Amino acid sequence: MKDNTYKQTYSFERIQENTNLIKIEAKRLGFLSCGISKAKFLKEEAPRLEQWLQNNFHGKMQYMENHFDKRLDPRKLVPNAKSVISLQYNYFSNENQIDNSYKISKYAYGEDYHHIIKTKLYELLNFIQDQIGEVNGRAFVDSAPVLERAWAKKSGLGWIGKHSLLITKQKGSFFFLAELILDLELTYDSEFKTDHCGTCTKCIDACPTKAILPNNTIDGSKCISYFTIELKDELPNSMKGKFDDWMFGCDICQDVCPWNRFSIPHNEPKFQPKEELLNMTKHDWEEISEEVFRKIFKKSPIKRTKFTGLKRNIKFIKSL
């Protein structure tokens, strides 16, 4: 193990070698892509985040108001942070639910991604510490105050589409984002500057609740995913008839995106959907018992909305 003094004086060649080692190992672990950017204050994102919160686009997701400074500066999450490693993990599935069913977002077909990807991140962190030396860092998957799409863009992985999701040429947008923040200097990738959405407005036009605004912004308080997962209160009557049978999450903006014609099926066994899930009819969902719910969604992210939440969503969709 090498001490921090030695680590700080790595040569350019060693920094490049360390960077290559990390990217090769990330690929071996199954990550779709790996990009690296310098850990610093997100100056451009600060006013955007502040305005987004002021517009109440986060609805009742009060946690979005917390840790404002940490969301903008990774050095407040990891002391002396120097690098943000951004990673993509594919979840696209070419398997689909039957037509006569209430719909679930593809990311929730299998087991909860948080645990699966976090395990891989710790494997990567352990690899870095074993191969490079004394490196301090933290792993993040979606549930921490990290502006993951901004970092992925800065790391060269893609651009942020009109639906506010990261899009990568030849890979689309059906992937999770994850990060390692390290106190290790690495070679940094160039920020992805070009917006390849052009004049396309397919996602804006297709959104049934008009949650996608014309300036690459999502009004989260109108998003079907917000209503069916995040909102714990009663669903607003103003949204009746607008859920298009989505009972957990929503993939409409991704399904219509032309770039997702390049999506390829994932090869993660733990993301494979249960046959029971794919073949359940609307009637099956309406009659589902808590016991069956626990069986089908034993390790699923759908547990987040709970049995009562899922039944609430189905009842709301049905009562037109």
Confidence category of residue 144, pLDDT binned at 50, 70, 90: confident
Alpha carbon distance 76, 67 (integer Å) = 10
Beta bridge partner(s), residue 175: 90
Residue with token string 């390692």: 180
Confidence category of residue 203, pLDDT binned at 50, 70, 90: very high
CB within 8 Å of 275: residues ≥ 6 apart: none
Predicted confidence at residue 120, as pLDDT, reads 98
Active site residues: 142
105: helix, coil or strand?
coil
pLDDT in tens, 16-35: 999 999 999 999 999 999 99
Burial class (CB in 10 A: 0-12, 13-18, 19+), 269: exposed
Predicted confidence at residue 59, as pLDDT, reads 94
pLDDT over threshold 90, residue 215? no
pLDDT over threshold 80, residue 3? no
Predicted confidence at residue 2, as pLDDT, reads 43
pLDDT in tens, 240-259: 999 999 999 999 999 999 99
CB atoms within 10 A of CB 172: 22
Average pLDDT for 293-300: 92
The answer to whether 2 touches 134, Cβ cutoff 8 Å, is yes
pLDDT in tens, 64-111: 999 999 999 999 999 999 999 999 999 999 999 999 999 999 999 999
The answer to whether 229 touches 104, Cβ cutoff 8 Å, is no
Average pLDDT for 109-125: 97
Average pLDDT for 293-297: 92
Predicted confidence at residue 7, as pLDDT, reads 45
Confidence category of residue 9, pLDDT binned at 50, 70, 90: low
Alpha carbon distance 207, 157 (integer Å) = 25
Predicted confidence at residue 100, as pLDDT, reads 95
pLDDT over threshold 80, residue 8? no
Predicted confidence at residue 5, as pLDDT, reads 43
| Average pLDDT taken over every residue of the chain | 94
Tokens standing for 37?
């950017």
Average pLDDT for 39-48: 96
pLDDT over threshold 50, residue 4? no
* Sign of the C-alpha dihedral computed for residues 312, 254, 100 and 295 taken in this order: negative
Average pLDDT for 200-209: 98
Average pLDDT for 300-309: 94
pLDDT over threshold 70, residue 6? no
